[in-house]
Copies of this chain bind each other. A is one copy, B any other.
Amino acid sequence: MRNFIKKLKVEYLLGMILLALFVVPTSLNAQDNSKNTDATWIWYPGDYEIWLSNQMQAKRTERGAFFPPLWRYYSPYSLVTFRKKLSLDQNDVVEIHTEGQAKIQLDGKMYYGDPKALEIPAGDHILTIKVYNQEATPSLFVKGNNVITDASWEVTYEDKEWIDASGRTSGESGTHWDQVGSWDFDNKEDLPSEFRLETKPKKAVKITPHKKGYLVDFGEETFGFVKLHGLEGSGDLNVYYGESEEEARSEEFCETLDRLEFDGSQASDFLIDQSRAFRYVNVQPEDGIQLDSVSMLYEYLPLEYKGAFNSSDELLNEIWDVSAYTMHLTSREFFIDGIKRDRWIWSGDAYQSYLMNYYLFNDNPSVKRTTYALRGKDPVNSHINTIMDYSFYWFMGIYDYYLFSGDEDFIKQIYPRMKSLMEFCLERRNANGMVEGLPGDWVFIDWADGLSKEGEVSFEQLLFARSLETMAICAEINGEPDAVKRYNGLAEDLKQKIQTEFWSDEQQAFIHNRVEGELTDKVTRYTNMFAIFFDYVNAEKEAQIKEHVLLNDQVQQITTPYMRFYELEALCALGEQEYVLDEIRDYWGGMLELGATSFWEKYDPTEKGVEQLAMYGRPFGKSLCHAWGASPIYLFGRYYLGVQPTAPGYASYEIRPNLGGLKWMEGKVPTPKGPISVYADRREIKINGIKGAGKLIFKSRNTPSGAAGIQSLGDDAYELAIETDREYKIKYKAL
């Protein structure tokens, strides 16, 4: 969304989107469903995601105590009706499988027979199947020669149409039908309620006798189920987990532990039933119990690393690898924040995971699952995760999803929930039309000492304006011109106010907040860096922000990889790739130097020794594997390999390689139409594009050669149109 939006005005963007709708083949618009030429399990959209996320997020424990999320849980509808209008050339015999009890009706007539052999004669029919399940998500799998469950089915929870402005609805008997949701449960035996992540055995790299038991090192941050081998006797056994050796050794303060009690009847090889995050495990049997050894089952979501990055700088390569591993560890049932603590879905964290995902796995279902899980259902009565900024990131994540996937079906499916959340936000504005923290709202922004959350925070208004623009775009896709106008009007007003009420000519920057009508004199990086990728400032202000904020050490430094993500992105957007690489070497390289095998929740280079492990007032409170630590994946793909979509689903795209001072680099960026490969050194650029309206844009000291049709853009810049998926080799001379 960043440079893309920076260069395109919203009006033009809308044109591009509409154009894209004609250009992108249908199979790409609904790419996740395109594989469902065979039957798949279906459910009410979002319901399985809500159910699964409830289960997953309730797995957090703190020193053995249950620790569920702080926010509201929703549940699936326990009784839903699926329907499909059929037009059959010949008889079909279908088998019907459900998760829950089912009532089957063909053309309104109750079917009393065997659901494995429902005969449907040729002709037009309506097949209706009502499913009840109070414990898990009511789900349906139908398979015949022609009749199969797929994304074309409809579903209702027996909600009725609300009357419209004219006082009437046109809905057939008033029932409101939605398109079903699905994932990839493509066999009748693959019951959605029985979904488990995959596992594989993993051995320890070092097992050291320690006290009565062992200290076990798995060599790197990992996640899974600890297995105790040769377990004999009866009594208690405690397992203390540590992301660091210090934590595992600290029986008193380690964040996670398991207290097990054996009566002697246990299996000799015993698998602990809860998965945990750790590198080290301190296994302490009490008297009466003994064991030989310890291993684990690594638990993971099987995802293909479709993106890649390699370069002349081994440190950067390692940073990319550790970022990718960090990202994989936190990409699970959903995109979670960190694997040791929380294991929850936080919208601000997920928003960054989405962007990293587009450059690593490009797995759309993970984005959709996470988006549904975060949003829950109606009515809305608090912000997402209770955090005001996190509601806004949720909107922004949807637009990015559309840009990277071109999946218009999802935008249509999620749009009603976008509207109700936006109404919630709009109702909470103050008399000045701005949002500020009300009771029940958490204004987060970032973990930073002394950061004010009071009054009208300019950063929140900025995200709010961006969310309103997203609403306008999605309203357009949903064919609601009045809503487009309304949301654009609201966005325009708010953007105007941000400029007039927060910009300080004196400080040449946006001011952080205004409390009870009084502007403070505090400048922070947040509003200023976002204003750059949001294209909310002209070139003059951009330069002022760069000098007076981004490159100004007097402005409070950012210490979370979370906000480092945006800070470095803003600098890349301003062409500071070389500077940013140095920052990455320092910051992420700094963590590696301290032995990181995954990237952290927070890193302050000034902290010493075990200080680095503490957070929230607890000695091992800090997460050492946090999704937002993995941003180099995104930065390398987006600003060095330089690949980005410029219309939804990569209907058009750009490649702007930028070596940032490297001798060479190579890599791949996944797209819905396959990977785009980029190699660049100072003399040659090699591209393997995809079908579509691609553009290679680069600078050269000399006239480049190697392909027909290279256009000069002036100022040493050149452009080459890429239309097919063959290789292009360009000879040039890097500036």
On whether A159 and B79 interact (CB within 8 A), knowing A112-B63, A175-B440, the answer reads no
A382 at the interface (CB under 8 A from B): yes
> A79 CA to B55 CA in the complex, in Å?
11
A101 at the interface (CB under 8 A from B): yes
**Residue pair A68, B58 in contact (C-beta under 8 Å):** no
Residues of B within 8 A of A175 (CB): 440
A65 at the interface (CB under 8 A from B): yes
CB contact between A173 and one of B67, B378, B379, B439 (< 8 Å): that residue: B439
CB contact between A66 and one of B67, B102, B176 (< 8 Å): that residue: B102
**Residue pair B66, A101 in contact (C-beta under 8 Å):** yes
**Residue pair A73, B66 in contact (C-beta under 8 Å):** no
Closest-by-CB residue of B relative to A98 is B66
Closest-by-CB residue of B relative to A170 is B439
Interface 1/0s, chain A 159-198, versus B by CB < 8 A? 1111100011111111110000000000000000000000
CB contact between A135 and one of B67, B135, B167 (< 8 Å): that residue: B135
Interface 1/0s, chain A 117-148, versus B by CB < 8 A? 00000000000001010110000000000000
Residues of B within 8 A of A67 (CB): 103, 110
Interface 1/0s, chain A 408-450, versus B by CB < 8 A? 0000000000000000000110110000001111000000000
On whether A438 and B130 interact (CB within 8 A), knowing A103-B66, A162-B381, the answer reads no
**Residue pair A132, B174 in contact (C-beta under 8 Å):** no
A51 at the interface (CB under 8 A from B): yes
CB contact between A439 and one of B54, B161, B438 (< 8 Å): that residue: B161
**Residue pair B101, A68 in contact (C-beta under 8 Å):** yes
On whether A158 and B62 interact (CB within 8 A), knowing A134-B54, A170-B439, A427-B163, the answer reads no
> A589 CA to B353 CA in the complex, in Å?
74
On whether A158 and B382 interact (CB within 8 A), knowing A68-B79, A112-B64, A440-B174, the answer reads yes
- A85-107 contacts to B (CB < 8 Å): 101-104
Closest-by-CB residue of B relative to A175 is B440
Closest-by-CB residue of B relative to A77 is B73
On whether A58 and B382 interact (CB within 8 A), knowing A174-B440, A440-B173, the answer reads no
On whether A65 and B169 interact (CB within 8 A), knowing A73-B79, A382-B160, A440-B175, the answer reads no
A486 at the interface (CB under 8 A from B): no
A38 to chain B, nearest CB (A): 27
A539 to chain B, nearest CB (A): 39
Closest-by-CB residue of B relative to A134 is B54
A339 to chain B, nearest CB (A): 20
A347 at the interface (CB under 8 A from B): no
A69 at the interface (CB under 8 A from B): yes
Residues of B within 8 A of A116 (CB): none
A290 at the interface (CB under 8 A from B): no
**Residue pair B438, A72 in contact (C-beta under 8 Å):** no
A270 at the interface (CB under 8 A from B): no
**Residue pair B130, A160 in contact (C-beta under 8 Å):** no
Residues of B within 8 A of A169 (CB): 438-440
Residues of B within 8 A of A76 (CB): 75
> A262 CA to B162 CA in the complex, in Å?
50
CB contact between A132 and one of B66, B77, B161 (< 8 Å): that residue: B66
**Residue pair A163, B78 in contact (C-beta under 8 Å):** no
**Residue pair B130, A68 in contact (C-beta under 8 Å):** yes
Closest-by-CB residue of B relative to A71 is B158
**Residue pair A439, B102 in contact (C-beta under 8 Å):** no
A12 at the interface (CB under 8 A from B): no
A101 to chain B, nearest CB (A): 4
Closest-by-CB residue of B relative to A62 is B110
On whether A101 and B439 interact (CB within 8 A), knowing A111-B65, A381-B159, the answer reads no
Residues of B within 8 A of A112 (CB): 62-65
A157 at the interface (CB under 8 A from B): yes
- A480-503 contacts to B (CB < 8 Å): none
On whether A79 and B103 interact (CB within 8 A), knowing A427-B163, A428-B163, A440-B175, the answer reads no
CB contact between A168 and one of B65, B72, B382, B439 (< 8 Å): that residue: B439
A551 at the interface (CB under 8 A from B): no
A594 at the interface (CB under 8 A from B): no
**Residue pair B378, A174 in contact (C-beta under 8 Å):** no
CB contact between A167 and one of B104, B379, B431 (< 8 Å): that residue: B431
A70 at the interface (CB under 8 A from B): yes
**Residue pair A72, B173 in contact (C-beta under 8 Å):** no
**Residue pair B64, A441 in contact (C-beta under 8 Å):** no
CB contact between A103 and one of B65, B171, B430 (< 8 Å): that residue: B65
**Residue pair A438, B168 in contact (C-beta under 8 Å):** yes
- A224-253 contacts to B (CB < 8 Å): none
Closest-by-CB residue of B relative to A70 is B158
> A111 CA to B160 CA in the complex, in Å?
45
Most buried by B among A157, A169, A439: A439
Residues of B within 8 A of A103 (CB): 65-68
- A21-72 contacts to B (CB < 8 Å): 51, 54-55, 58, 62-72
Residues of B within 8 A of A54 (CB): 78-79, 132, 134
**Residue pair A157, B440 in contact (C-beta under 8 Å):** no
A386 at the interface (CB under 8 A from B): yes
Closest-by-CB residue of B relative to A430 is B167
> A379 CA to B68 CA in the complex, in Å?
25
**Residue pair B440, A160 in contact (C-beta under 8 Å):** yes
Residues of B within 8 A of A66 (CB): 101-103, 132
> A336 CA to B58 CA in the complex, in Å?
36
Closest-by-CB residue of B relative to A66 is B101
Q: Identify 20 new A-B residue pairs, CB closer than 8 A, beyond the known A68-B132, A378-B379, A379-B379.
A: A51-B134, A54-B79, A54-B132, A66-B101, A68-B130, A69-B79, A73-B78, A73-B79, A75-B76, A75-B78, A158-B382, A160-B441, A162-B381, A162-B427, A163-B427, A163-B438, A167-B431, A168-B438, A169-B440, A174-B438
12 residue pairs bridging A and B, Cβ less than 8 Å apart:
A63-B112, A65-B110, A71-B158, A73-B157, A158-B386, A159-B381, A160-B382, A161-B439, A168-B439, A171-B440, A175-B440, A379-B379
Which 5 A-B pairs have CB atoms at the shortest separation, nearest pair first? Answer: A174-B440, A160-B440, A174-B439, A73-B79, A160-B382
